[in-house]
Chain A
Amino acid sequence: MTTTADNNRDRVQITVDGPELNSRMVTEQVSRDFFNVTRNYRWLVAILGSVFVIGIIALILRFLDGFGVSERAQWGYYSAMFAFLLITAGSAPLVAVGLRWTKNHWRRPFSRVSELYAAVGLLTILWFLPLMALLPPLEGRRSLWVSDEFIGVPLWWDFFAVLGLVVCGLTLLVLSAIPDMAVLARHGDDGPRARLLRSISGFWRGSQSQWNYHRIGLTALGAFYFMLLIMVQTMINVDFVMSLVPGWKDSIMPAHQALTGLQTAIGLVLVTTFILRATGRYKDFIPMESFWSFSKILLALCLLWAYFWFAALITFWYGRTPTELNVLSTFMFESYRIPFLLNFFFSFLIPFLILIWNPVRKSVLGPTLAGASVLIGAFFMTIRLYVPAFGIEDVTGHTLKAVQPAILPDVLDIFIILGGLAGAALIYLLASRIFPILSIWEVKEGLLYQRVRPLLRSKFLVLGKPD
């Protein structure tokens, strides 16, 4: 046990070799970046906005092409894009929630980066609306809902589940950001943004009871968000993929989609944080060690991804019923072989080969590349699942009688997808002008509990564990 004399030699650092930090530095840097709108930012918003508008035009043209249950096949890529948004941006806030539960100090710079993705939920829910008109009636086909006599199944239940997720995510974001908004409101000039911040966070005084409610609220909302997300992923996967394929019964598939969500959530946060760091912002507060810690979780999730996939494959491979063989051929080995291979390579093989090496894990670039890889992999996963499912004409019956031919994307599909991605990035960028991208209160709290202390002939990081 160290003495008080040792305590006097402590330095407030978050890494052994990092600079000495204090809470004023955090506030000043975040408020400077927050209120300073750079030219690069404006350009980026303009480009993303343009691509988004092109995507909307493509979507309108797609509507004019045909819209309805019978034209479902040409909306396959659209539905895949919805699933991609839900899997990635929908799962991202879970990073903040999960790591807050584990009380890791290294999580702190990632919290807001991940929570901000809740704002993309606004696009997700809008994207979902046309899909509601594309789902065929439950009559004559299998469904998780057992009976079509329940009111509103499955569409309205799905809609309210997605809406609930979005609302919960936004509430989580606002609640988490309130202390920071209060700080920034004091640091800003009297412009419209400072006024907006004041109107949202005006009640915040930072009293003990407010902090207690804040903590309890974040924990409860986080738990709710987690359960809601898993439920939504399960419902969407079954209603928009599996139940459209006659005879396909794959109990691990919803869990696999949920797991892919966790994987991509980390990938998305890593990539975003890397970009943030690369633009020279908050480098001191986002050390390499945080990326290193994240990379271990990502490695475990990549292995789990492969495990879930193999569990499904081997069960079907051994079962060898006609439906199982046709499902394997359609979704993996024949019609959608290329998306499947890309999915497998990017979701498992490439990140695995990157992350298995500790020197690579122990870097900023290595985990980021693995993170980008899993995002690409998830994109192809949604394509190989949702596009063929939407392409099946007769959804009734209990057997998939033939291997389904592949549906290739046309120009409109490509622009819709690009528009969707640009729209998501645009919303994120705009949201970062209302909510600071670095969680000021969490980073400051971390500085209270992290010290570098000399011991014998070396220096060590000492981490406070208050509870």
Chain B
Amino acid sequence: MQEGKILGYRRINRDLLRGVFENPVKYWAIVLFLGLVVLFAVGAAGFMVNRGIGVTGLNRPVFWGFLITNFVFWIGISHAGVMLSAILRLSKAEWRRPATRAAEVLTIFSLMTAVLMPFIHTGRPWRLMYWVFPYDFSRGIWPDIRSPLVWDPSAVNTYLLSSILFVFIALVPDLAVIRDRSSGIRRIAYSVLSLGWRGTPRQWKLQAIAGILLSALILPVFVSVHSIVSWDFGMAVSVNSWHSTIFAPYFVIGAVHSGVSGVVTVMIFMRWLFGWEEYVRREHIDALGRLLIVIAIAWFYFFAMEFLFGIYGQEGDELATRSLQIFGHPWGWLFLTFIITAFFFPVPLWLFRNVRRSFLWMTITTISVNVGMWLERFIIIVPGLARKQIFTQSWYTYAPSPIEIMIVAGTFALVLMLFLLFAKVFPLIPIFDIKEGQILTDEIKVGRRRVPAVIREE
């Protein structure tokens, strides 16, 4: 551990503010490309709103398809922020420092994207207004507060707000650094945002306390969000394979699995884009790789339990649904791809130190995890719905339309684009955290060997 050099504060400021003050051509080229994809997706969503959801592949009885799968996926990715930032901050893991902000920002943008999905999925997004504000008091039309579908927006919005607050609190000292290096309107904007930060001992103390308190408070919110998303499914007794008590923790651990993998991918991408070789080092992805092994194994246990208990009941309908998931066409192939890409391909590779320390392999394996985790949600949602009705003419097999594919592709571009735009305005690696890490880095002598060490404040 601690393979980094001791860097001066000036160097740290220069390196980590490169994204804010410099304009590399490749940055704008990527933003432009992503912007075009987003534009296509917006066009597709507009077309769908104009023509109705008949342009999607949804049909009786499968009314949740690509868009809801994508909603669950992005909610899952958003779990990386708190997992890495809050838990590692509370446990004082030194290697967290370069990863925390990227994780938190990924949380915010993936949550915002996730919220868009049910919106678009309704086909008539303006009708959400009726749902939030009951339009007819006299007839007593209210949203059913006993439904997890109503808890969802509350939980997601609470998580979004607290995540924004979490990011902002950690940003304040860095905003002051940018303020001191800016002029004109930019300086005014950063002055307002940095809330008069001067770096006094009292301000640092308050900032540290706020960070710890928010870390602790946000954890229950983080768990609640994906639990409630899982209960959107788990409460439905009528759909085989959904009504399972393990769904909540299974969804949460799955979200952490895909979210932490997403953070690794993004960190490596940012390292390449902004030249942060001194900050995102092999030791960091090695540590994240080890964490991913534990998370992946825990996830696999929950997956196995969920699946085994589907068979355990020995009920004909449920067995038929499980059979469809594994052997039916095209679900069998998707299932195989899912389990290989989410677990059997990456996890054995992560056991090798050389793989964990390779940026290329970590990129491949973490992308593989997210391919698998996207498919996992798809396989949970659609085959169950396809066999929902006992008395039916045919068990309809869902296939996504080009419109849905474009919208889903657009969400990936949107998250990445927002991420890059954020990096243009704010530092993606917390400057003050890196500096603090440098102060706390030390060495001790053991026999004739010098061993890296950290200073523990408490």
Contact = CB atoms under 8 A, between A and B. Distances in A.
B400 interface: no
A151 B349 CA distance: 35
Given A255-B301, A311-B245, A464-B446, A249 B309 contact: yes
Contact of B244 (A146, A315, A448): A315
Contacts of A465: 1-2, 94, 451-454
A255 B305 contact: yes
B247 A315 contact: yes
B243 A319 contact: yes
A431 interface: no
A2 B454 CA distance: 11
B173 interface: no
Contacts of A143: 312
A282 interface: no
Q: Which of A143, A144, A238, A311 has the largest number of chain B CB atoms within 10 A?
A: A311
B223 A307 contact: yes
B446 A1 contact: no
A398 to B, nearest CB: 8
Contact of B246 (A4, A146, A311, A467): A311
Given A142-B312, A255-B302, A465-B451, A460 B245 contact: no
B243 A1 contact: no
Contact of B313 (A234, A249, A307): A249
Interface residues of B, number: 44
B150 to A, nearest CB: 13
B311 interface: yes
Contact of B456 (A7, A315, A463): A463
Contact of B249 (A234, A255, A296, A316): A255
Contacts of A144: 308, 312
Contacts of A308: 249
B83 to A, nearest CB: 13
Contacts of B452: 464-466
Interface in B1-24: 1-2, 6
Interface string B206-225: 00000000000000100100
A358 to B, nearest CB: 10
B443 A253 contact: no
Most A-side CB within 10 Å, residue of B91, B301, B312, B441 = B312
B285 to A, nearest CB: 16
B456 A461 contact: yes
B98 interface: no
Contact of A252 (B237, B249, B442, B445): B249
Nearest to A243: B312
Contacts of B315: 398
A383 to B, nearest CB: 21
A318 interface: yes
Contacts of B248: 307, 311
B426 interface: no
Interface string B241-259: 0011111110000000000
Given A252-B245, A319-B243, A448 B311 contact: no
A250 B234 CA distance: 12
A455 B248 CA distance: 47
Contact of B245 (A296, A312, A448, A466): A312
B457 interface: yes
B235 interface: yes
B455 A464 contact: no
Interface string A396-410: 001000000000000
Contacts of B311: 146
A311 B227 contact: yes
A333 B151 CA distance: 26
A380 to B, nearest CB: 21
A451 B249 contact: no
A249 B305 CA distance: 11
A461 B453 CA distance: 10
Given A142-B314, A464-B452, A1 B441 contact: yes
Contacts of B442: 1-2, 453, 462
B305 A448 contact: no
B225 to A, nearest CB: 13
Contacts of B456: 460-463
B306 interface: yes
A467 B249 contact: no
A249 B312 contact: yes
Contacts of B453: 449, 451, 462-465
B129 interface: no
A315 B235 contact: yes
B455 A142 contact: no
B2 A455 contact: no
Contacts of A436: none
A462 B444 contact: yes
Interface in A427-467: 448-449, 451, 453, 455, 460-467
A112 to B, nearest CB: 23
Contacts of B74: none
B245 A253 contact: yes
A460 B444 CA distance: 13
Given A315-B234, A464-B446, A251 B246 contact: yes
A7 B442 CA distance: 11
B231 interface: yes
A187 to B, nearest CB: 24
Contacts of A296: 90-91
Contacts of A320: 237
A462 B453 CA distance: 6
Given A319-B237, A462-B454, A467-B1, A10 B444 contact: yes
Interface string A291-312: 0000010000001000110011
A321 interface: yes
A449 B444 contact: yes
B303 to A, nearest CB: 11
A2 B247 CA distance: 51
B254 to A, nearest CB: 14
Interface in A313-333: 314-316, 318-321
Interface of A: 1-2, 4, 7, 10, 142-144, 146, 230, 234, 238, 249-255, 296, 303, 307-308, 311-312, 314-316, 318-321, 398, 448-449, 451, 453, 455, 460-467
29 contacts: A1-B441, A2-B443, A142-B313, A144-B312, A146-B311, A146-B314, A249-B312, A250-B245, A250-B309, A251-B306, A252-B249, A255-B302, A311-B248, A315-B231, A315-B235, A315-B244, A315-B247, A319-B237, A451-B444, A453-B442, A455-B455, A461-B455, A462-B442, A462-B454, A463-B454, A463-B456, A464-B453, A465-B2, A467-B1
Closest 3 CB pairs of A and B: A251-B309, A251-B246, A311-B248
Given A251-B305, A311-B248, A398-B315, 10 more contacts: A144-B312, A146-B314, A249-B309, A255-B305, A303-B220, A315-B234, A455-B455, A462-B454, A466-B446, A466-B451
